[in-house]
Structure 1
Amino acid sequence: MDNQGTASIQQNRIVLFPLPFQGHISPMFQLANILHSRGFNISIIHTKFNFPNPSKYPHFTFHQISDGLLECGVSDPVLIVKLLNSNCVEPFRECLDRLMFDYHVYCVIADAHWTCTQAIADSVNLPRIVLRTTNICSFLAFAAVSLFRDKGYLSNPDLNKDAPIEEFPPLKIKDIPQMETSNSEDVFEMIDSLVQQTKKASALIFNTFSELEEPDLPKLYIQFPMPTFTIGPFQKFFSASTTSLLTQDMNSISWLDKQEPKSVLYVSFGSLASMDAQKLQEVAFGLVNSKLPFLWVIRPGLVNGSEWIETLPNEILESISERGYIVKWAPQQEVLSHFAIGGFWTHSGWNSTLESICEGVPMICSSFFGDQMTNSRYVSDVWKIGIKLEKGLERDEIENAIRRLMFEREGSEMRERILCLKEKIDVCLNPGGSSYQSLEKLVDFITSLRSSTI
């Protein structure tokens, strides 16, 4: 599918290739908007899987490629990434060839998980820039997974999972990036390929700001000696609301309008996390027992083997209705910026974590897979702007964490720290700020690629 509109032969064109999952689509489209606002023309190559609505982005051109996923019928995210990198090689190559024939293309900006794109870009002498949708500390944890594996941290069942990793403070063994999948080797291969192919890229972009991750920047430059641009938070340039793959329930805002300032806990576990019915009940009891108002997002598909909330007993639903509000999906940036929100219980995905920092909302952190383990550890132990649930999903720990965050001095101190970070974000995005300057350098870098690709 091509949506060319009135586009003519335009010379300053960039091709972007997002991974087709919600947490990857949003930052890539935000980046596309940022670059478009700086005068670049944008072409987006996208799989048929989760293909966005082009009418929401009339300023971009869209090019759909086949992905072969419908024929495979898989739902495992790790396996999907593996299949995409196999199935999309020729469709991506053919689409890129057409675009390079029609336009002068500066470069392709690909999600780091599109590891197949490096060889294709090299074959046509096109610079490939990688967008890593995690933060720097989590990326470095990914890069260290082979070390963790060699040390036996992932294979020794007798190790204390709460023990610290000496080679990578402040992580504990249980914080090592992992994915739930039928084949653990696929995870290691995916991570190793991501790291190795990123090292071959022309440049690296992060949706973060240097003031937050200053201690890890020298480590990054040593392991990945390439031009690196920290130009985040993207969402402070452009909202992610239009990139949502799920329908947002705007009634959640009306409900929040009726609540007291900073009285509500917002609960959302993202677009991919899942749990069983028993864990859902633990979450419900923890929320109800806290006796605090809460807005709870229960995404269809969150509960394994369940359509939505039918596994919750009626007595729990009655208790929830007294002080809580359940929706299937919410306009998260609007929710977090609402005066009624006092805390955010998150799955610790980087987009959600950064959105919470942007709005000065302290967090309770769960983690399910991937970078979420590292993110939650940094939130609790390094930046000290949230509480990590160390036991998983257990009602007493949940209730205790809510009370600590919302009622106790500990929570007030977290709020003060995260408000300081929020102020630093405002500074870094203004002229002369670190992200502003990094974006200027990125624009100059991309423009400099013109001569090498003519």
Structure 2
Amino acid sequence: MMSVEDKLESAETRPPHVLIFPAPGQGHVNTILSLAELLALSDFQVTFLITPHIHNRLRRFAGDIEARHPNLTFETFGHGVLQNPALFGHNLKELAEQTKSQGKLKLRELCSEHSGKPKVGCIIVDALLGQVDSELGDELGIPIIHFRTASACSFWAYFNVPKLLQCNELPIKGEEDMDREITRIPGMENLVRCRDLPALCRGERKGTLSLDTLVYLALHSQQAKAVLMNTFEDLEGPVLSQLRRHFPSLYTLGPLHVLLNSKKASKTAAAAASGREEEKDRTCMRWLDAQPPKSVIYVSFGSVAVYTRAQLMEIWHGLMNSKKPFLWVIRHDLVAEPDGDQGLPAELQEGANERACIVEWAPQQEVLEHAAVGGFMTHSGWNSTLESMVAGVPMICWPLFGDQPTNSRYVSEVWKIGLDMKDTCDRKIVEKMVNDLMVERRQEFEKSAEALAALARKSAGEGGPSYSNFHRFIEYLKSIC
């Protein structure tokens, strides 16, 4: 039997155990997994809680992460809608509710003395699931940290919705109100219009989380011990200074994929192993290799968004009419009609030619870093925005929901690294914007994009602000564990 002294010595030498719980969307998981790998590289014991579907997808596309990081383990949970990935983009409300209820049970199990795992010292939870910790933090006596995977500017917009309602800047009165400027968000005065606020400010869509819920979650993050964000000071400094008045323990760690690569580079074994992604489809990369430098427009609208056939055909014709080669990622479930009709229009299925490469999946970071890519047509999800930014690739933004309308406004009006095409889907506009980005204003956008890319890499590189913030966070995490 171990003595008290032996037990204390064992507890002191055992690495701290952190439990991480992301929302089960691919974008959320990708971001928070980068943090999990960073903590594993920093000698923490990390348990990552996800659905079986997401776990299987990670194994397929990201190689054997557990072999690379022996102290990072995956736990799975979920049944019902959580086992049906086809529903992920169609009923986010039910997905969130089941994730919270089923995830809470699994969290409680993993934190129990009989879990077979080392005692959990801290839980890092996706802020979109912030309601999960309302009971668990007090019940289990474990510190809770929130990870906000969206941009700081969208987070700040959600946080200010109650003020906008109080001063009658919300609700939006209709289409004729969309270009009215919002003046009561500190640090964003006269920058955003009604159409640039997070999409739910326009009204709720069936199957989505409510605006009330997302505003509650923004305010609720004040109860967390700390808030983590995938952004950097040179990018969103004015908004971050406003947020820190309400969230004093806010750590900016972004761009996380650059920070992770910096850390891996300092551990040669991990860097060498990280390239094992046997099942990636390399077709698009071989196609890119045959294209001239900066000639290709890369098109991808993320892992969740669903569009109509008519919208996709307008984009198709606009791209074709631009006379520029393009690489387009079209998921099998990207197109849906109200009557349930799914599937790609015949023109797209048959349309691959010398100027078009259509694939169902692509290694996005690698694509954006390719010399042939000169522009990115994106849905303005935060991961895609940061990845394009780091690669120095200008953007055409076509946002749909969540934080995307706010991100796209900042891309065009604050960072000056692209064009905002929100609320329009017309082949003539697509053609014009592609030519503006790739020809008429190419030098202007490339100059801005390259300058911002340098700042992003410097921030997450050794000695940069995000790099230093990560080390401060590590020390803080050790202290609370």
TM-score (norm 2): 0.84
Relative to structure 1, is the Cα distance of residues 99 and 424 closer, same or farther in structure 2, using a 3 angstrom cutoff?
Answer: farther
TM-superposed CA distance for 1:271, in Å, is 0.4
The alignment-based identity, stated in percent, is 34
The reply to whether residue 62 of structure 1 matches residue 62 of structure 2 is no
1:136 and 1:449 map into 2 onto residues whose CA distance is 25
Identify the residue that residue 304 of structure 2 maps to in structure 1.
Answer: 272
Q: CA deviation at 1:391?
A: 4.0
With over 3 angstroms needed to count, the CA separation of the structure-2 counterparts of 1:369 and 1:153, relative to structure 1, is same
- Aligned partners of 1:200 and 1:362: how far apart in 2? 37
> What is the aligned partner in structure 1 of residue 91 from structure 2?
76
Taking a change above 3 Å as real, the CA distance of residues 331 and 158 of structure 1, as seen in their structure-2 partners, is closer
Does the C-alpha gap of structure 1 residues 242 and 298 become closer, same or farther in structure 2, counting only changes over 3 Å? Answer: farther
Aligned match of 1:208: 231
Moved more, 43-52 or 348-357: 43-52
Give the TM-score, by structure 1 length: 0.89
Indicate whether 1:444 and 2:465 are aligned: no
Distance 1:99 1:118 in 2: 23
Q: Paired residue for 1:397, among 409, 429, 452?
A: 429
Partner residue in 1 for 2:245: 222
Contact (CA 8 Å) 1:153, 1:159: kept in 2 or not?
A: no
CA distance in 2, matches of 1:376, 1:69: 31
Q: Counterparts of 1:391 and 1:370 in 2: how far apart (Å)?
A: 14
Distance 1:183 1:431 in 2: 43
**C-alpha separation in 1, matches of 2:39 and 2:83:** 35
Alignment of 1:305-454 (within 5 A): 305=340, 307-309=342-344, 311-313=345-347, 317-318=350-351, 320-408=352-440, 410-450=441-481
The answer to whether the Cα contact below 8 Å between 1:10 and 1:104 also exists between their aligned partners in 2 is no
What does the per-residue CA deviation read over 1:52-100, in whole Å, with 9 as the maximum and x for residues that have no partner?
4564323211222235436999541133113322343223222222587
Match of 1:176 in 2: 197
Q: What are the equivalent positions in structure 2 for 1:104-183 lying under 5 Å apart?
A: 104-115=119-130, 116-150=132-166, 151=168, 153-157=170-174, 159-168=176-185, 169=188, 170-179=191-200, 181-182=205-206
Residue type matched to 1:313 in 2? Answer: E
Deviations 1:125-147 (A, max 9, x none): 11111111112111111212333
Which of 9, 14, 31 is equivalent to 1:27?
31
Measure how far apart 1:367 and its partner are: 0.2
The answer for the alignment partner of 2:45 in structure 1 is 41
Q: Contact 2:22/2:126 (CA < 8 Å) preserved in 1?
A: yes
Secondary structure at the residue paired with 1:364? Answer: strand
Distance 1:352 1:183, change over 3 A: closer
| 2-structure distance, mates of 1:367, 1:393 | 11
Is the contact made by 1:268 and 1:297 (CA closer than 8 Å) also made in structure 2? yes
Distance 1:35 1:126 in 2: 18
Structure 2: gaps spanning 5 or more residues = 1-10, 265-272
Shift of 1:194: 1.3
Maintained 8 Å contact 1:128/1:202: yes
Backbone CA RMSD of aligned residues: 2.8
Q: AA paired with 1:380?
A: S
Structure 1 Cα separation of the partners of residues 246 and 179 of structure 2? 27
Pairing 1:253-264 to 2, within 5 Å after superposition: 253-264=285-296
Q: AA paired with 1:156?
A: K
Distance 2:156 2:114 in 1: 34
> How far apart are 1:178 and its partner, in Å?
2.3
Q: Which secondary structure state, in structure 1, belongs to the residue aligned with residue 244 of structure 2? A: helix
Q: What does the per-residue CA deviation read over 1:395-436, in whole Å, with 9 as the maximum and x for residues that have no partner? A: 11111100100001x332111111111111222223331111
SS of equivalent to 1:271: coil
- How many residue pairs get matched? 437
**Aligned-residue offset at 1:347:** 0.5
